[in-house]
């Protein structure tokens, strides 16, 4: 039971490839089932990997959860980049599409995990520190680049990027805390009108 389904391991797989497949499977599992009562044994059984293999690759449950958050964030940035390259899609509409993806009820488990990991980092958990340091900086580069490409000066672009990121995360926390989807969506739409103008 040491292989990740649905793909089978081949002689050409490397440890990094296998680790990456394990993380992808774990991200998908958390998105679908959340993290309530999640243990390495339960997670391993769900994704077809022994808990010993999870410990081998990640060291601990906490380090695996950090990697799940990091991978989720990578996926979100990749989606934003893809949306911004879509012909005829305005920056505001790209942001709306990303917001719809982030607030998909099926991703609520991932979003809860994100905030739980942030809280652990703020409490000084050493295994979370590297992720916490990059939760803003990893997003600023692509967001600033998009603003500069649209003609905004770099200093203003950085401020706008940080504001946009903080707003999205704040409204995601609002949604998880209140469940008020209509209110949060309306607030996001108001923010996009202020941020992008009439787009």
Task: Give pLDDT, residue 7.
Answer: 35
pLDDT reported for residue 128: 84
When pLDDT is averaged across residues 91-97 and rounded to a whole number, the result is: 89
CATH 1.10.10 assigned to 1-59: yes
Average pLDDT for residues 170-192, to the nearest whole number?
Answer: 97
Q: How many residues does the chain have?
A: 199
Instruction: Assign 156 a pLDDT band (cuts: 50, 70, 90).
Output: very high
Nearest to 49 by CA among 10, 28, 70, 18: 18
Each residue's pLDDT tens digit, 107-147: 888 888 889 888 888 888 888 888 888 889 999 988 898 88
For the cut 70, the answer to whether the pLDDT of residue 152 exceeds it is yes
The CATH code of domain 66-196 reads: 1.10.357
Q: Is the pLDDT of residue 66 over 80?
A: yes
Give domain limits for the chain: 1-59, 66-196
Distance (Å) of CA 85 to CA 19, 24, 45, 78: 30, 24, 39, 11
pLDDT-derived band at 170 (thresholds 50, 70, 90) equals: very high
SS (H, E, C) the chain: CCCCCCCCCCCCCCHHHHHHHHHHHHHHHHHHHCCCCCCHHHHHHHHCCCHHHHHHHHCCHHHHHHHHHHHHHHHHHHHHHHHHCCCCCCHHHHHHHHHHHHCCHHHHHHHHHHHHHHHHHHCCCCCCHHHHHHHHHHHHHHHHHHHHHCCCCHHHHHHHHHHHHHHHHHHHHHHHHHCCHHHHHHHHHHHHHHHHCCC
pTM: 0.79
Q: Which residue has the tokens 């905030």?
A: 115
pLDDT value at 160 more than 80 = yes
Same fold yes or no, 1-59 and 66-196: no
């Amino acid at each position: 039971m040491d292989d990740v389904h649905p793909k089978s391991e081949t002689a050409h797989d490397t440890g990094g490839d296998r680790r990456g497949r394990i993380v992808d499977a774990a991200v998908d599992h958390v998105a679908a089932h959340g993290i309530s009562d999640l243990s390495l044994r339960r997670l391993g059984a769900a994704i077809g990997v022994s808990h010993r293999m999870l410990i081998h690759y990640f060291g601990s449950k906490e380090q695996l959860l950090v990697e799940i958050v990091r991978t989720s964030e990578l996926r979100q940035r990749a989606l934003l980049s893809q949306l911004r390259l879509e012909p005829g899609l305005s920056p505001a509409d790209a942001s709306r599409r990303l917001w719809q993806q982030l607030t998909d009820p099926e991703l609520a488990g991932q979003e809860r995990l994100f905030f739980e990991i942030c809280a652990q980092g703020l409490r000084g958990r050493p295994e979370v520190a590297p992720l916490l340091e990059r939760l803003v900086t990893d997003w600023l580069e692509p967001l600033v680049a998009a603003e500069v490409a649209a003609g905004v000066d770099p200093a203003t672009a950085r401020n706008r990027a940080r504001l946009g990121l903080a707003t999205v995360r704040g409204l995601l926390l609002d949604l998880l805390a209140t469940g008020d989807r209509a209110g949060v969506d309306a607030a996001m739409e108001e923010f996009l009108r202020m941020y992008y103008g009439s787009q």
